[in-house]
Structures are given as structure tokens and as C-alpha cells.
Structure 1
Amino acid sequence: MSTTTFDTAVTQARDLLRWHSPLRTELWAARLTADLEPDQVRPFLGRLTQDGSPEARLTLAALAAVNQPAEAAITTPAEPDSQPAIATPTEPGGRPADTTPAEPGGRPADTTPAEPGGRPAGGTTADGRLAEAGGTAPVGGGEVDAGVRPYTVAGSGMAATLAGWVRRMGRVRCEGAWYGKADPYGEQTLAVLSFRYENGKEPHILVVGIDQPNGGLAVDALVEEVKFLDDLGLRAADPGVVGGRILDAFELGDQIMGAMVADTLPAVRALAIARAYAVPGLVRGAADDTAARFDDLPDLPGAREAFEKLTEFVGDRPLWWSPGRVSQFFTSWLPREAILTDEAIAAMPAVVRAWSRFSGDHPAVRRQIDEDAPRLPALMADDSLPSLAKRIAQNRL
């Protein structure tokens, strides 16, 4: 780890201590997380712990705030299944009380246990015990390995040694969620969550772009003011479902080596994941209900059968409906995979046109249907096109 990285972080933290903004500090910590290479993390955290200055402690607290939710999701056999909650004292009206002891004049006192010379001794755990940087910190009766959860261990207890606003980092409530297309053809979708801190301040939205052609991985993210939502034209959705989709999208991206994402994604990633985990009632792997809302099925023989094959094709990405996908459906997927009655084959163009109207009625999509639909009967009759699975199924009929 370079001295420049440490010095820059401390200088920036000094400015943040003057701003008193949890959101600004969390965004900074997410960028800092992205800038650190894996082999730099523990040396960097260790140096911050040894330094012990208010700036270093703010850095540790902020890094823990944006990384702890993801680290908490890592399960280890030695750890208990659940951890007891730590109660937060509250003022009248329910707002968390600022319990930081104060020095004369009202400035929060530094309550970190100190080594000779006044430097904080290692990190402090939630129950006040000390943890050496790079060691283990007791949590809920178990132990968290600093090699698995370095940010959680290094930042444990640091927020309590600083001003009250620092402890609000990560303490947000979700106020709404939206989901829908990012572009006319739905090749990307947008998952949006709205938050504000527990004291009602700094409302903001998290917007995550989710790629559809490549399976639904997160490709971009940003944090914006709530008014940014006005121009997106998205449908309100269940926050637990949207939060789950965001986590699913990041998890999928982690499984794909060399996934193409926007240059801006890494700097927001840690905060985006932390915010998604902050949503109560998360639903992972939720089905998309778009097809269930379709109510314009043509009154034709075979239309229901045709629509069932269409929904099988669009699967869990029904918002993605482009000219290219239309062509793939008519000229490749149906001949290769689908077994249809003559009535369903005849009804399919009308069903696809109805679905296309429901999906935005874009002229380019209509033109693609007009080009490919007339070829469908001949393609379905071509014995050279079926897949092995379709051939086996046909032989069983």
C-alpha cells in the first residue's frame, strides 16, 4: 500500500469531518473500497488502526459502514446462525440519542482506549473489548475472522469514538422502490430504491442498471437526488423484490469473469449492496410479474397455447423485447424448441403482435414481426431444425 493512498484518505477524511454528511462519507468510502486492491486492504486498515487519528477512525468507520452488510452475508461454519441486536438508546420521539460523551464546550470526547501516548489501541468491538488489527473480534458470542471480514473487524466500535452524525452511516430506511425499462427495448432495466437516514435527512435514491441479454447482471449504478426519479417513468414495485433483484444482479456479475460493466459501477458497488441489504423483507430470485399483467390475448384458436410458449421464451426477462429478440423467437427458438399445434402456429403472429403492443408497440419490432412471421409455418415443418430434446419429445408423442 502506498503512502500516497493513506495520506490522501486522511486528507479527504479531514474534509468530511467538517461536512458532517453521512451520505457524502459513505459514497467516499465506496469509492475508496473500489480503489483498494485485495492485497492492499489489510495493510491499509492496519495503518489506519495504528494511526488512530480522528481522520483514520472516520475512514475505518465509513469503510465498515459500506462493507459490513456484504461481509455479514458471508457465513462460516464456526459462526452462530444469528447475532443478537445491539440496542440503540433513543431520545423522546424515537430518534437515536447521541450517546457520545462530550468534552467541555460540547465537542464529542474521544472514548477510544488508548495506548501510552494517546493513540487508540487497536480496534474496539461492539461490546467495548479490543481487537488487534488483523486478528479476530468477538461478535455475538462467536468470532469473525479478520481475513474474511476485514472491514467489519477493523471498523468495529470506531463510530462510537466520533461525533454523533458518524453513527448514522448505514442507518437508513427504505421509502419506496421502482422497476422498469432503461431503454425502449428493455435491454437494460432499472432497479431503484429510495432512502433517507433515520433522522429524516439526506433523502436519496439508488439506481442500478441491470443487463438483460447477458442474463441480468448489474452493469451500472448511481446515487442521486430523489427528483432524478421523475424522468425515469418506472412502475412502483415491492422494495423487498427490487432489493433482492439488485443483490441477485451483483451476485451474477461476480460469477462471470470479465463481465463488461460501466466504468462508474465499481465506485458505487459497495454502497449499492449495502443499501440493498438495508431493505426489509428481501426476496431473492423473485419472478417478474410482467406476463401476468398481460390481458390482451387475441380471441383465436390456439392463442393460449401460443402465449404459453411466448412466456416460456421470455422467461424471467419479459421486459426485454427488441427486434433481435423477435427474430430469434420466430426463426430460431420456436423451430428448435417448441412443439405446437397447427392452431397455435397460426395464432402465433397475432399473439406476438399483441405482446409487442403491450411492450411499447415500437415500429421496428412491428416491422420485424411482419418480416419473420410469414416464415414460421415452413420453419416449424423443417425436420432439420429441432433440437435433440425436441426430437426426443416428439418421438414420445
Structure 2
Amino acid sequence: MVSTSAFTKAIAQARDLLRWHSPLRTELWAARLTASLDQALVPAFLRELAEDGTAEARLTLVALAAVNPTPSPSGAVPSAGTAEADDSEAYARAAEGLIDTLPTWVSRMGRVTCEGAWYGKADPYGEQVLAVLSFRYENSKEPHILVVGIDQPNGGIAVDAVVEEPKFLDDLHLDAAEPQVVAGRILDAFELGDRIMGAAVADTLPEVRPLAIARARTVPGLIRGAGDDTAVRFDELPDLPGAREAFEKLVEFLGDRPLWWSPVRVSQFLTSWLPREAIMSDAAIAAMPEVVRAWSRFSGDHPAVLRHIDEDAPRLPALMADDSLAGLAKRIAQGRL
């Protein structure tokens, strides 16, 4: 049996929620409850709720199922492990047939429509990006947004998430985006985070995670692993010999995180990555400083970034000529030329 205090606390909180008549408040509570439960205790907790049979116990079971839906193939986050998938199935089984025994507002939990999406930098250098989805329940009440912070230096893992009122979006200054792409990025970020042991995330993330994943899965036509088209929209390439070749190397370095462009990253590109990885013509090497400056202006025109370019760019020809800095892949490629 689950500890008496934990069960009693859940029942007391569910009693209050029955008076609030709020699907959103109840789903947020169920997400926090999910985070607080030891996976090993989930079956016993569900049995105890089923045996209790009160309206409070039934609401708890239905709410847990709403924020822990069984994943579909397109929206799954498989790296969370078999135990999590088993829990989702257990929640669903425990809630079977209970919705009709509760007030009608309970049936709206999880039944939302995504009305928009936004994506962009959370800070000037894009070291964290924000993925935002807006939702409204079927009765058009309780509109809300899900905001997920995705870390860039550590590969794109989800590090924080909140559910807020739509007006919260006004202060974020993000660009509109396709909901199916943003939802896919949210699921990708949580999946990646599950694969990394000991990843540093906000203390509050586990309490929002179940609802965040459930909300993302509701978006039709999910697109997983979508690339970022920021570099495609760049149209300020300098009119210099070798500029196109230089930009292609920059895009290769940026990869799927082009919004992240900080002083540290520009120095890494010019003084480490290029000498180690890139084979370029003399024209591309000569054009690279202006290409990087143009990209930096496009990426926010931050003085600190431009200062690093001024400091590091003059060293580039010598660094590219130093064969001792070349990585194994570059040395092999050079040997084939």
C-alpha cells in the first residue's frame, strides 16, 4: 500500500479540485502528482484509488490518465524507458469507464486544440531557445500556453517548462512557427534529455514534464527531427570570391542549432573547428571573416561577438596552414586529394 499520508493528501487535493471545476488546474496537479510518485509504487497507488472508489479517487485516476496518455508511434518518447510506457498503460486501464461517473468538465481534460506556435531565442546569444504552443479546451475556455526551454550547448535537451496564460507570450518576442514542427522539437528535446544521465535541468521541470509531453502529442501531423531553416533565410552573403564556400562550412558547423551564436561559439569556430575539420580554398579562408561578420549581424549584431571576430579572424590563415591542428578525418581527406 502507498503510505497513508500520500494517499490522504491526494484525496484531499482532489476534493478541492472538484470544487474548482478547472480542467487545466486539475491536469497541472496530476502532472505534479505523477512526478512525485515512485514508479515502483504506481501499481499500488492505482489499486488503492480504485478500491477507495470515491469521487475524489476517481478524479485522481482520470486526471493521471489524462496527463500520461499512451504514446502513439508518431508522438512517442521511447527513450524514457519501458517503465514509463507501462505506467501510461496502467493509468489508462485504471481510468477506464470512470469519466462518465464524474462531472462533465472532467471529460475536457486532455481534449485541447493547438491554436498557434512560436520559436526563438530565450537569451541574446541563443544558448537557450524557447518552443511555445498555445492551447484551448473544446469549450474554448482556459486558454493557456506551454513554454519549453531547450538548451543548445548541451545538444538541445529540455531544461525547463511552464504553463502560463497567453499574455505571458507578449514578453517573449518569438517568431510564429508551424505547430507540428514546434511540438516535434519539444518531444525531441525531452527524448534527448532522457538519454543523458545527470543532465542539469530546472528543479520544476519534472512537475511539468508529463503535461508538456501530453500537450505536444495532441498536435496533429507531428514532425520529429525537423531541421532549423534559419540559415536558409540568410540573404546577406558578402559579394566576395569564396564567400559561398565559406558559408557552407559555417552552416556545417552550426548544424541543427543555428540560433546559438555566442562569443564563445564564434571563437570555437574560427580557432578550433575550422583548423581541425575544414578543407577550404585560399579564397574561402580569405572570405571567412566577412562571412562570419555578416552572419553575426544577422544573428543579433552583438558587440561582444564582433569583438571576438576581430580578435580571432586575423589568426585564421596561419591556423588553417598548421597541419598539426588537423583532425583525423581532415588528414585522411587531405591524403586523398
The TM-score normalised by the length of structure 2 is: 0.95
Q: What is the correspondence of 1:31-46 to structure 2 with a 5 Å cutoff? A: 31-46=32-47
1:317 pairs with one of 257, 261, 264: 257
Kindly provide the CA deviation profile for residues 259-312 of structure 1, in whole angstroms up to 9, marking residues without a partner as x.
110001011000000000011111000000000010000000000000000000
Q: Is the 8 A contact 1:69 1:274 kept in 2?
A: no
Q: Which residue of 2 aligns with 1:272?
A: 212
In structure 2, the residue matched to 1:244 is 184
Output aligned runs, 1:52-131, within 5 Å: 52-70=53-71
- Does 2:296 align with 1:295? no
Separation in structure 2 between the aligned mates of residue 390 and residue 74 of structure 1, nearest angstrom: 38
SS in 2 for 1:320: coil
For residue 165 of structure 1, what is the aligned residue in structure 2? 105
CA distance in 2: counterparts of 1:71 and 1:315, whole angstroms: 29
Corresponding residue for 2:81?
none
Tell me which structure has the larger Cα radius of gyration.
Answer: 1
Counterparts of 1:174-189 in structure 2, within 5 Å, are 174-189=114-129
**Contact 2:145/2:163 (8 A) holds in 1:** yes
1:139-160 superposed Cα distances (whole Å, 9 cap, x missing partner): xxxxxx9666211111122212
Q: Give me the whole-angstrom Cα distance separating, in 2, the residues matched to 1:41 and 1:227.
A: 36
Matches of 1:248 and 1:160, distance apart in 2: 35
1:208-267 alpha-carbon deviations (Å, 9 max, x no partner): 000000000000000000000001000000000000000000000111111110001011
Distance in 2 of aligned mates of 1:317 and 1:179: 12
The AA in structure 2 aligned to 1:57 is R
Q: Give the RMSD, CA atoms, in angstroms.
A: 1.5
Q: Which string of whole-angstrom CA distances, capped at 9 and with x for unpartnered residues, describes residues 43-70 of structure 1? A: 1111001100000000000000000144
Tell me, in whole angstroms, the C-alpha distance in 2 between the residues paired with 1:157 and 1:301.
70
Distance 1:378 1:282, change over 3 A: same
1:328-339 equivalence runs, <5 A: 328-339=268-279
Partner residue in 2 for 1:260: 200
* Selected match of 1:150 from 90, 96, 101: 90
Q: TM-score, normalised by structure 1?
A: 0.81
Matched with 1:131 is none
Say whether the 8 Å CA contact 1:69–1:277 is kept in structure 2: no
Residue of structure 2 aligned with 1:207, choices 147, 153, 156: 147
- Contact kept? 1:71, 1:152, Cα under 8 Å: no
Paired with 2:137 and 2:210, the residues of 1 have a C-alpha distance of 17
The CA distance in 2 between the partners of 1:71 and 1:237, in whole Å, is 23
Aligned AA (2:13):
Q
Identify which range, 152-161 or 252-261, moves more after superposition.
152-161
**Hey, what's the Cα distance between the residues in 2 that align with 1:147 and 1:196?**
27
- Structure 1, residues 95-146: CA drift from partner, whole Å, max 9, x if none? xxxxxxxxxxxxxxxxxxxxxxxxxxxxxxxxxxxxxxxxxxxxxxxxxx96
State whether residues 122 and 130 of structure 2, in contact with CA within 8 Å, keep that contact through their aligned partners in structure 1: yes
CA contact (8 A) 1:13 1:59 kept: yes
Contact 1:71 1:148 in 2 (8 A): no
Q: Tell me, in whole angstroms, the C-alpha distance in 1 between the residues paired with 2:46 and 2:127.
A: 40
2:9 corresponds in structure 1 to 8
Name stretches of at least 5 consecutive residues in structure 1 with no aligned partner: 77-144
Residue equivalent to 1:194: 134
Please tell me the residue identity of whatever aligns with 2:205. Answer: L
Sort the Cα spacing of 1:186 and 1:147 in 2 relative to 1 into closer, same or farther, 3 A: closer
SS state of the match for residue 291, structure 1? coil
CA deviation vs aligned residue, 1:171-202 (integer Å, no higher than 9, x gap)? 00000000000000000000000000011000
1:342 to 2:288 alignment? no
SS at match of 1:321: coil
8 Å Cα contact 2:68-2:88 kept in structure 1: no
State the secondary structure of the residue aligned to 1:149.
helix
Aligned to 1:49: 50
Is 1:224 aligned to residue 225 of structure 2?
no
Provide the rounded CA distance (Å) in 1 between the counterparts of 2:229 and 2:118: 14
More helix as a share of residues: 2
Query: CA 1:337 to 1:146, structure 2 compared with 1: closer, same or farther past 3 Å?
Result: closer
Contact 1:208 1:222 in 2 (8 A): yes
2:239 aligns to what SS in structure 1? coil
- Note the residue ranges of structure 2 that are not aligned, 5 or more in a row: 79-84
Hey, what's the Cα distance between the residues in 1 that align with 2:59 and 2:72? 19
Aligned equivalents of 1:303 and 1:71: distance in 2?
A: 45
Output the amino acid matched with 2:255.
G
Helix, strand or coil: the match of 1:178? Answer: strand
1:128 is matched with none
Q: Cα gap change, 1:16/1:187 in structure 2, threshold over 3 Å: closer, same or farther?
A: same
